Chains A and B, each alone.
Chain A
Amino acid sequence: MNNKIKAKAIKFGNNIDTDVILPGKYLILIDPHELGKHALESLDTEFVQKAKDGVILVGGKNFGCGSSREQAPLALKYSGVKCVIAESFARIFFRNAINIGLPVIECKGISAAVETGDELAVDFEAGKIENLSNEKKFQVEKLPPFIMKILADGGLIETLRRK
């Protein structure tokens, strides 16, 4: 994981569930690149086109609620999403994202401070988020060191391999 990323934001609302992130009918797909082709298509058929060069997703409350399907964060990661920032996350999605090496950041107030198309800069090590388009800045609580290590390793399996 890069410690600093910069990308354009795509914003969604509250309670974005894993069924809209990746519908159940695609769970038989194993190749993550195939999963990535269907990310969020129920909400926006052009999402994958918009995300392919790298974006930061901004969500409201309870992002990733619903099913435990790890295919949901996988689909986002392989569609081009570099990081998800939300007011709050559903806990299984939060853990899954970290475990597959997709950075997730809880940030109160982010929804109101970002519009789709804004340029965001994230510094994970420092816990800093900046909206370069309107100069709004956020300092977030850093994740515990063992979780930062999983992200730095690129996911839980890599962390376990290195043990």
Chain B
Amino acid sequence: MNITEKILAKASGKKIVHPGEIVNANVDFVMVHDLTGPLAVEAFKKIGIQKVWDNKKVVVILDHQVPAESVKAAELHKTMRQFTKDQNLQIYDIGRGGICHQVMPEKGYVTPGAVIVGADSHTCTYGAFGAFATGIGSTEAAAVMATGKIWFKVPPTIKINVKGNFQKFVTPKDLILAVIGKMRVDGAIYKAVEFTGPTIQNMTMAGRMTVCNMAVEMGAKNGVIEPDETTRKFLVDRVKTMPDFKMFQSDKDATYEKTVEFDITKLPSQVACPSSVDNVKPVLEVGDVSIDQAFIGSCTNGRLEDLQLAAKILKGRKIKDGVRALVIPASQEVWRQAMQQGLLEIFTEAGAIVCGSACGPCLGGHIGLLAAEETCVSSSNRNFIGRMGSPQAYVYLASPSVVAASAVTGKITDPTTLET
């Protein structure tokens, strides 16, 4: 069996499972946030049971409309605070956590071999740690809160095997954009995607999280990476009990629906053009695209090493007149590290604004929205019509390095072309 099959077998008390089989899996953690939690609370109350199945396994993180930008959002936050109080649940409130997909691993809720569901599509990020993690809706989150279980159809798995070293300024974000460009937005629909090969093995946890985060953008149920020493080092001071890593390696004779090979040796910086995540080109081929906004942050690329990449480019440079640059560290922990390392100084000196840890403009719900005919280059994960504000705005997705370089020139820019 491969990793995904092994985890689903273990979670459903079976020795072996096959793609297509429906299993009823025990859930290790369920997470909801401020935009999906209130509907889940409402649904939970309708079920008619008093208490969640295990109050240590339900996590609430406020990250989307934070701090509340409207009375309606404040009411949603109030609902979630009251529910966590009534049920004695862990809540990461404003200033205590950050973006849910950064907070979950940081605070030790993610371990290899675990089944984690979250009422957010980018829950697949945790596959970076060798977990089976996938997004669900609010009603289903309520059902998991009530029962601790969820049904899954065991997915067929696509293996994506990557070799080669990244060129200067090229990052795991460029890799995953290139992968989605080739696989297309429905290329892995209903399926698991397992990322393997030397490039993945050499990647930091931050890079692996970026890669797994965007698995859903090709329709995947989950993305997953075999846990190893890099995983162990990240987790060692964060989790209470470390699972047996050996249990969650794919067998040599594991079956895959297909294997797709990527060699990134010559891969240049990539960009996903409006308004589909698979509309991917090398940055050098997009032509002359002026920008109004540059956004560095989100659950895809708001981690410390992303901020370090951006700071390297912005140090001693200025954001182009007429461009606004937003930097949003993914969590309070990342924010503090960025402060201690002097990165926030570099960003603000360059003329960027640094906001509190939150999802920010990524989903067009709170700050940094776009007007009609405006263009944003963003380190986030979606460029759909209307995603970041006006349906007449344009969103280009790229790495933090490309976003920073573009903020300097005012046009979508490959960092290799910046004058030194």
Q: Please give the residue numbers on chain A whose beta carbons come within 8 Å of chain B beta carbons, in ascending order.
A: 14-15, 17, 19-20, 23-25, 27-30, 42-43, 61-62, 65-71, 88, 90-92, 95-96, 99-100, 144, 146, 155-157, 160-161
CB contact between B386 and one of A42, A71, A156 (< 8 Å): that residue: A42
New A-B contacts (4) at CB < 8 Å, excluding given A19-B386, A62-B189, A99-B143:
A15-B276, A19-B382, A68-B120, A160-B47
Contact B46 A157, beta carbon cutoff 8 Å: yes
Residues of A near B384 (CB, < 8 A) are 17, 19-20, 66
CB distance from A18 to the nearest CB of B (A): 8
A90 CA / B184 CA spacing, docked (Å): 13
Contacts A24-B364, A28-B35 given; does A161 touch B47 at CB 8 Å: yes
CB distance from A163 to the nearest CB of B (A): 9
Residues of B169-191 whose CB lies within 8 A of A: 185-186, 189-190
Q: Which residue of B38, B39, B42 has the most chain A CB atoms within 10 A of its CB atom? A: B39
Cβ of B127 within 8 Å of any chain A Cβ, yes or no, is no
Q: Look across to chain A and name the residue whose beta carbon is closest to the beta carbon of B43.
A: A157
CB distance from A87 to the nearest CB of B (A): 9
Cβ of B349 within 8 Å of any chain A Cβ, yes or no, is no
A160 CA / B46 CA spacing, docked (Å): 9
Contacts A28-B73, A42-B386, A66-B384 given; does A96 touch B365 at CB 8 Å: no
Contact B36 A68, beta carbon cutoff 8 Å: yes
Contact B135 A92, beta carbon cutoff 8 Å: yes
Residues of B near A95 (CB, < 8 A) are 136-137, 140
Q: Look across to chain A and name the residue whose beta carbon is closest to the beta carbon of B361.
A: A24
How many inter-chain residue pairs (CB < 8 Å) link A and B? 130
Contact B185 A62, beta carbon cutoff 8 Å: yes
Q: Look across to chain A and name the residue whose beta carbon is closest to the beta carbon of B220.
A: A91
CB distance from A68 to the nearest CB of B (A): 4
Contact B139 A70, beta carbon cutoff 8 Å: yes
Residues of B94-151 whose CB lies within 8 A of A: 118-121, 123, 135-140, 142-143, 146-147, 151
Contacts A19-B387, A157-B47 given; does A67 touch B189 at CB 8 Å: no
Residues of B near A24 (CB, < 8 A) are 363-365, 387
Contact B137 A23, beta carbon cutoff 8 Å: no
Cβ of B254 within 8 Å of any chain A Cβ, yes or no, is no
CB distance from B120 to the nearest CB of A (A): 5
What are 29 contact pairs spanning A and B, CB under 8 A? A14-B186, A17-B384, A19-B384, A19-B387, A20-B384, A24-B364, A25-B364, A27-B65, A28-B73, A28-B76, A61-B186, A62-B185, A65-B185, A65-B186, A66-B382, A66-B384, A67-B120, A67-B363, A69-B35, A91-B190, A99-B137, A99-B139, A99-B140, A99-B143, A100-B139, A156-B143, A157-B142, A160-B143, A160-B147
CB contact between B46 and one of A14, A29, A161 (< 8 Å): that residue: A161
A89 CA / B5 CA spacing, docked (Å): 23
Residues of A near B185 (CB, < 8 A) are 15, 62, 65
CB contact between A62 and one of B119, B186, B389, B391 (< 8 Å): that residue: B186
Q: Look across to chain B and name the residue whose beta carbon is closest to the beta carbon of A158.
A: B46
Cβ of B411 within 8 Å of any chain A Cβ, yes or no, is no
Contact A156 B139, beta carbon cutoff 8 Å: yes
Q: Please give the residue numbers on chain B whose beta carbons come within 8 Å of chain A beta carbons, in ascending order.
A: 22, 35-36, 38-39, 42-43, 46-48, 64-65, 70, 72-73, 76, 118-121, 123, 135-140, 142-143, 146-147, 151, 185-186, 189-190, 219, 221, 276, 363-365, 369, 382, 384-387, 389, 391
A24 CA / B364 CA spacing, docked (Å): 6
A10 CA / B140 CA spacing, docked (Å): 28
Residues of A near B120 (CB, < 8 A) are 67-68
A71 CA / B139 CA spacing, docked (Å): 11
Contact B219 A65, beta carbon cutoff 8 Å: yes
Residues of A near B365 (CB, < 8 A) are 24-25, 27-28
A144 CA / B245 CA spacing, docked (Å): 35
CB contact between A68 and one of B22, B136, B151, B391 (< 8 Å): that residue: B136
Q: Look across to chain A and name the residue whose beta carbon is closest to the beta carbon of B72.
A: A28
Q: Look across to chain A and name the residue whose beta carbon is closest to the beta carbon of B47.
A: A160
Q: Look across to chain B and name the residue whose beta carbon is closest to the beta carbon of A60.
A: B186
Q: Look across to chain A and name the residue whose beta carbon is closest to the beta carbon of B65.
A: A28
Residues of B near A146 (CB, < 8 A) are 151
CB distance from B344 to the nearest CB of A (A): 27
Q: Look across to chain A and name the residue whose beta carbon is closest to the beta carbon of B142.
A: A157
Contact B385 A30, beta carbon cutoff 8 Å: no
Listed from nearest, the 6 A-B pairs whose CB atoms lie closest are A96-B137, A70-B137, A62-B186, A24-B363, A42-B391, A24-B365
Q: Look across to chain B and name the residue whose beta carbon is closest to the beta carbon of A20.
A: B385
Residues of B near A160 (CB, < 8 A) are 47, 143, 146-147
Residues of A near B189 (CB, < 8 A) are 62, 88, 90-91
A77 CA / B42 CA spacing, docked (Å): 18
A43 CA / B386 CA spacing, docked (Å): 10
CB contact between B64 and one of A17, A27, A30, A100 (< 8 Å): that residue: A27
Residues of A near B139 (CB, < 8 A) are 70, 96, 99-100, 155-157
Residues of A near B219 (CB, < 8 A) are 62, 65, 90-91
Q: Look across to chain B and name the residue whose beta carbon is closest to the beta carbon of A14.
A: B186
Contact A68 B135, beta carbon cutoff 8 Å: yes
Residues of B near A68 (CB, < 8 A) are 36, 118-121, 123, 135-137
